[in-house]
Structure 1
C-alpha cells in the first residue's frame, strides 16, 4: 500500500514532508485501534504519547516522562519516577494486541510454575517467583491498613490482628515548631514493580478472578500474605465512597495523573498539577522522639488536595481520593540527640531557617489533616486513638515515602 501510494506521486523522488505525513496517518490509525476498546477518558494523553503500534523500539518510560512534563509542574516525586515502565513501545503494542500473551501458557497453570515470566520480566512486575521473595519483605502499609478503614476493608484488617499505633493519628496543634513528638513506625516495604503501560493496564479488570488468571502464583501457599494484601486492595477499591469523597484506584500512570487533574482542575483539565511527597524518611530518628522544625502549609486551588497511597497489586497501583475540608503540611523533622536543647532553641524560631548542620534535620514529612470527620465510620481507628467520635474535631496523619499528594499548580 505504501509503495503504491508513493509511486503515484508526481515526482520521482517524493518530498520528505509527504512521507512524514503518510507515516503519521498510519501510526495514528493503529493507535486509535488500540485505544478504542478502553473506557478510560484518554483526552489527557497527548498524541505524542502513542507510539504507533510498536513500529519503533522507544522505551515506554520516555513517553511517560513526556506525559509527566506536560501535566506535572516541578519535580516529580521519586515514588512515581521509580515506577516508570521499562517496556519498549514494540512490546507494549504486542501484548496490547494479544492480551492472552500476559497469561500462562497451556499446561502451565501451576501456581509455582508460572510461564508468563517473560511478561513479568519485561514489565518489571511482582509475580511468579518474585511473589515468594516478596512475601518476606512486604509489611502492612501504614496509610491503608491503619488509616483509611472502610467497613469492608476493616473486616479484613481485623483478621490480620494489626495493632493500632497510638501515634498514627494526632491533632493539628501538634504541628508547632519546637514541639517534641513521637512518630509512628512509618517504614513500609512493598515489592519493587512498575506501572503497566496504559494499553495493558486498561485490559486487566480490577477483580480477583481476573488477576488470578494472569498471576496464578497468588493462590500458592507461600504467597498467602500477598494474596491477603491483594484482596485488601480490592476491598478498598470497591468500597463505597464516603460523603464528600472522590476516589479511584488507578493502575497506570495516565490514570493516576488523570484522576488527580480532573479532581483538582475539573473536567477542563487546563493547567498542571504538583506532586508532593515525604523526603529522607530513612534517616535516623524516624520511629523515635523528634522535634518539629519549620511547618509549611500547602494551599491548592480551592483548598483541594488529592492523596494517593500505594496499594499492593502485582503491578504498580494506588488508592487515590480527594476529601473535602483537608489541609496539607510540609513538616521539617529534627533528630533528638545530645544537642536537643540547642535543637529546641533553633526550632522555636519559626520565622528563620533551621541550621541543618547544627539542628540535625532528619526529614521533611507530609502531614494531612482531615478537618471534617463527620462522615467517617464510627469505628474508625482514628477515633480510638484520639478518644473522639465522628465529627468531633480534626484527625491528622503522616505520609510515608510510598504516598503522594497532588495539588493544582498556581
Structure 2
C-alpha cells in the first residue's frame, strides 16, 4: 500500500522516479522506504524538491551495488550504469559540468576554514551581492532585490542510507568510489570545498554535520532539536518557489517561527558531492521567518513564500565570511540574514 501511495504522489512530482519505480514494481524501492522514514519522523509533507531527490534504486539493486562497492578487497567503483540507475552526478550521466558553482558554500556556511581553502575559493566565484541582508529589510511593503534562487548544481538523488553511511568524507575515498566524477578541475575543487566545510572546526555556538543521506539529515535535526530519543517529530520548512529570482520583489505578510530565547533552528544547505548531500548546522541567536511576496501592482496577490533566516550574533564568524563583504561590517557588528532556496531546509521542533 505504501508503494502504491508513493507512485500516486509522484505522478505529479517526479517523472524520473515514477518511471523507475514503475519499471521495477516487482522489487521494493528505496524511495518508498525513504518516504516512510520521513513520515515517521517529520510532522509535515516532504517538499517537492526533496521528493525529487529520493533514490530511484530498487532494494535489490541497492544490495547488489552495496556489496560490490564495499565488500572486502573489492576494487569495483561506480560505473556509468550505477550512476544512471542511482541518479548520481558522475560518469556519462554528468555531462554538463559547467553547472557546478560554489554559491552554496561560501554564502551559506560559517565553519572555520583553512587559509588554503579560502585562497582556493577566492578564484572560483563572484558572490551574489544580494545574498545577505539586514533584518530591517523585513517590513511589510518593502521592495527588496532577491538573489539568484535557481539551483545551479546538477540534479542528484540521495543514496540509500546503508550505502551512504560507508562513504568517508574525504577526497581520497570519494575519488576512489566515484573515479569518473572528477572530469574537470572545477568539479574537483567544488567537491574539495564541500569536504573542507564538512571537516572544518565549528565556530563557537555551532553544532554542525554533513549528512550523506536523507535519513542522516533527519536524524541530525531530531537529535539537535532534542527529539532524537523519543517519538517527537520535527518540522521541515523551505521556500515555496524561485519566483522573483534576481529581481525586485515586494514584501507582504511576515510570520516568525519560534522566536523564544531557547528556540533551536537547524539549517541544512545543499552541498555538492556526486550524490545528494547537505551541510547542516545549528547556530545560537537565530530567527526564522516565512515571508509572503506579493504582486507589486496590487499588493495583495501572493506570488511566492520564502523562508528567511537571521543570525543575530556574528561575533564568532570568520572575518573572511562573504556576508561581511556584502553588508560592510565585521564580526559582531550586526546581524546577517539570507534567504533559503527550495533545496535548503530549516528544521524546527514545532510550528
Q: 1:120 aligns with which of 83, 95, 115?
A: 83
Please list, as runs of the form range in 1=range in 2, the aligned pairs for 1:29-108 lying within 5 A after superposition: 57-100=27-70
Please list, as runs of the form range in 1=range in 2, the aligned pairs for 1:228-307 lying within 5 A after superposition: 228-281=189-242, 283=243, 285-299=244-258, 302-307=262-267
Cα shift readout 1:192-251 (whole Å, capped 9, x = no counterpart)? 11111111111111111111112111343xx22221111110011011000000000001
Structure 2 spans left out of the alignment, 5+ residues: 1-25
- Once the two structures are TM-superposed, the CA of residue 325 in structure 1 deviates from its matched residue by 0.8
Q: Is the 8 A contact 1:280 1:363 kept in 2?
A: yes
Q: Is the 8 A contact 1:105 1:116 kept in 2?
A: no
- Once the two structures are TM-superposed, the CA of residue 165 in structure 1 deviates from its matched residue by 2.7
Q: Partners of 1:292 and 1:154 in 2: how far apart?
A: 35
- Once the two structures are TM-superposed, the CA of residue 120 in structure 1 deviates from its matched residue by 1.3
- 1:137 and 2:64 correspond: no
- 1:397 and 2:328 correspond: no
Cα shift readout 1:128-167 (whole Å, capped 9, x = no counterpart)? 0123x231333332x422232543343321121x223332
- Once the two structures are TM-superposed, the CA of residue 267 in structure 1 deviates from its matched residue by 4.6
Q: Partners of 2:35 and 2:227 in 1: how far apart?
A: 23
Q: Give the RMSD, CA atoms, in angstroms.
A: 2.3
- Provide closer, same or farther for how the CA distance between residues 392 and 269 of structure 1 changes in structure 2, counting only shifts above 3 A: farther
- Once the two structures are TM-superposed, the CA of residue 400 in structure 1 deviates from its matched residue by 1.2
Q: Partners of 1:308 and 1:200 in 2: how far apart?
A: 21
Q: Partners of 1:123 and 1:76 in 2: how far apart?
A: 20
Q: Partners of 1:409 and 1:316 in 2: how far apart?
A: 26
Q: Partners of 1:380 and 1:183 in 2: how far apart?
A: 20
- Kindly name which structure, 1 or 2, has the bigger radius of gyration based on alpha carbons: 1
With structure 1 as the length reference, what TM-score do the two structures score? Answer: 0.73
With structure 2 as the length reference, what TM-score do the two structures score? Answer: 0.85
Q: Partners of 1:75 and 1:198 in 2: how far apart?
A: 20
Structure 1 spans left out of the alignment, 5+ residues: 1-55, 107-113, 344-354
What is the aligned length?
Answer: 322
Q: Partners of 2:318 and 2:75 in 1: how far apart?
A: 45
1:322 match: secondary structure? strand
Q: Partners of 1:248 and 1:371 in 2: how far apart?
A: 21
2:50 match: secondary structure? helix
2:147 match: secondary structure? coil
- Provide closer, same or farther for how the CA distance between residues 300 and 122 of structure 1 changes in structure 2, counting only shifts above 3 A: farther
Q: Partners of 2:218 and 2:149 in 1: how far apart?
A: 25
* Bigger mean CA offset, 183-192 vs 318-327: 183-192
Q: Is the 8 A contact 1:190 1:312 kept in 2?
A: yes
Q: Is the 8 A contact 1:198 1:252 kept in 2?
A: yes
Q: 2:129 aligns with which of 166, 180, 187?
A: 166
Q: Partners of 1:257 and 1:267 in 2: how far apart?
A: 10
Q: Partners of 1:374 and 1:300 in 2: how far apart?
A: 20
- Once the two structures are TM-superposed, the CA of residue 307 in structure 1 deviates from its matched residue by 0.5
1:350 aligned partner: none
Q: Partners of 1:84 and 1:58 in 2: how far apart?
A: 14
Q: Is the 8 A contact 2:55 2:157 kept in 1?
A: yes
2:99 match: secondary structure? coil
- 1:207 and 2:167 correspond: no
- Once the two structures are TM-superposed, the CA of residue 299 in structure 1 deviates from its matched residue by 1.5
Q: Partners of 1:227 and 1:397 in 2: how far apart?
A: 27
Cα shift readout 1:29-88 (whole Å, capped 9, x = no counterpart)? xxxxxxxxxxxxxxxxxxxxxxxxxxx820111111111111001121223211111111
1:14 aligned partner: none
Q: Is the 8 A contact 2:99 2:153 kept in 1?
A: yes
